[in-house]
Structure 1
Amino acid sequence: MLILVRHGQTEANRHGLLLGRADPPLCGAGRDQAEALARALPRPTRLVSSPLTRAVETARAVGAEIEIDERWIEMDYGDLDGRPASALDADGWRAWRDDPTHVPAGGESVAEVGARVRSACHDLADLAADADVVVVSHVSPIKAAIAWALGVGDEVAWRMWVEDAAVCRIDTSGSAPRLRAFNDVSAHALPSLR
């Protein structure tokens, strides 16, 4: 199973800021989410993480050896990084939503994220067919991996929402990937039963 995990919350996430390549650590709630994820996730055969601190801190809680893969890094928001979504006007959002190849000033397109993530998914698919592979990443790469699993284009990214510390599961054991779970926050949304 290919298990995709969005990192725990940061202060920027809590305040609704666009968070791309900026590298803040997890906040207290994010560390709690990472610990809850560690209790809920299976011990993986392979643990892959984005190089950004918030992803590595979340992966570290899982307790396995971490392999850093740059392809799982968050989208580069360029000049918008660290700013509220309102920093981009309606025409800018329309251009970005309507054209997966649109590049915001100094940033990266949805299509570029999709290309690098599809490559990463292909590289993990065979192992994930027989073992649990956990990838700790970010909103945009996870959306790209879901698009890969569903066999759809990058334009669907804007139609998905991925919560902090959400888990998605892709079964790669068949002739085509199958989405088994999307945006599962049950590991940290409910009070502990212990």
Structure 2
Amino acid sequence: MVASQIHLVRHGEVFNPERVLYGRLPEFRLSDLGSAMAATAAVDLVERGRPVRRVIASPLQRTRESAAPIAAAFGLPVEIDERIIEPTNRFEGKRMSGEHSALRDPRNWPAMLNPLRPSWGEPYRAISARMLAAIDEAYNSVTDGDVVLVSHQLPIWMVHRALAGERLAHDPRGRRCALSSITTLSWRGEGLVEISYANPAADLQAGATDVGAV
């Protein structure tokens, strides 16, 4: 026996008054709104009435904080898996829009020569491979019930595209992975498939800031 479902949960809004791309930088915590978003994800999972056996988070502060209400709801600890962390990115700590955007600085242009890899950070193939490895291990780590993995936008989107058989290279503006969203996977036939996507924090997102993702 193995897990019934894997739920990939994105973290909530991050306190980011400077509106920088935070990537793997430390001490980027959830905002008050982000904490409320994380709570909605926990409520959504509880209301599904499914038995959650493990809650696993990326080691970054925002994912650990987002995992906390889920773990509390099911009486579980928050475990850590380095493989579901945010990708590396050359533009960490920089603003990506506005007059002083890093994209307008000629010194940064060499990092943007190959968007298919991408040249500014961890290769898409590497992100997909480590995420799928973490998911496979989580899936086989329990004898029944579900496992929740709290991760980041790009890693979750790489899983979506890999399972859908789509090219990993993409336009970041087209990602369907909102703050505190839940992408659910299950085993069908000979492999994992995505079976649902939920956005329980949709009502909170109108006033949210979401500019720090890779």
Taking structure 2 as the reference length, the TM-score comes to 0.74
Name the residue aligned to 2:96.
85
The aligned length equals 183
- How much identity, in percent, do the aligned residues show? 26
2:32 partner letter: G
Amino acid at match of 2:96: A
Q: Are the counterparts in 1 of residues 23 and 86 from structure 2 also a CA contact under 8 Å?
A: yes
| 2:186 counterpart residue number | 171
Greater relative contact order (Cα < 8 A, sep 6+) = 2
State the Cα RMSD in Å.
Answer: 2.7
Aligned twin of 1:95:
113
| 1:22 counterpart residue number | 25
Instruction: State the 1:174 CA deviation.
Output: 3.2
Distance (whole Å) between structure 2 residues aligned to residue 118 and residue 156 of structure 1: 18
Once the two structures are overlaid, the 10-residue window that deviates more, 52-61 or 159-168, is 159-168
**Following TM superposition, by how much is the alpha carbon of 1:3 offset from its aligned partner in structure 2, in angstroms?**
0.5
**Offset at residue 164 of structure 1 (A):** 1.1
- Verify: 1:113 aligned to 2:127, yes or no: yes
**Deviation of 1:127 (Å):** 5.3
CA distance in 2, matches of 1:26, 1:157: 26
Q: Secondary structure at the match of 1:11?
A: coil
Q: Note the alpha carbon deviations across 1:8-31, whole angstroms, 9 max, x for none.
A: 10123x765323101301001001
CA contact (8 A) 2:111 2:119 kept: no
The answer (yes or no) to whether the contact 1:45–1:133 under 8 Å persists in 2 is yes
Q: Aligned residue for 1:59?
A: 67
1:144-171 per-residue CA deviation (whole Å, 9 max, x = no partner) reads 2212322334224744232111111112
Give how far 1:190 is off.
4.1
Partners of 2:157 and 2:67 in 1: CA distance? 19
Gaps of 5+ in 1: none
Unaligned 5+ segments in structure 2 are 205-214
- Identify, as 1 or 2, the structure richer in helix: 1
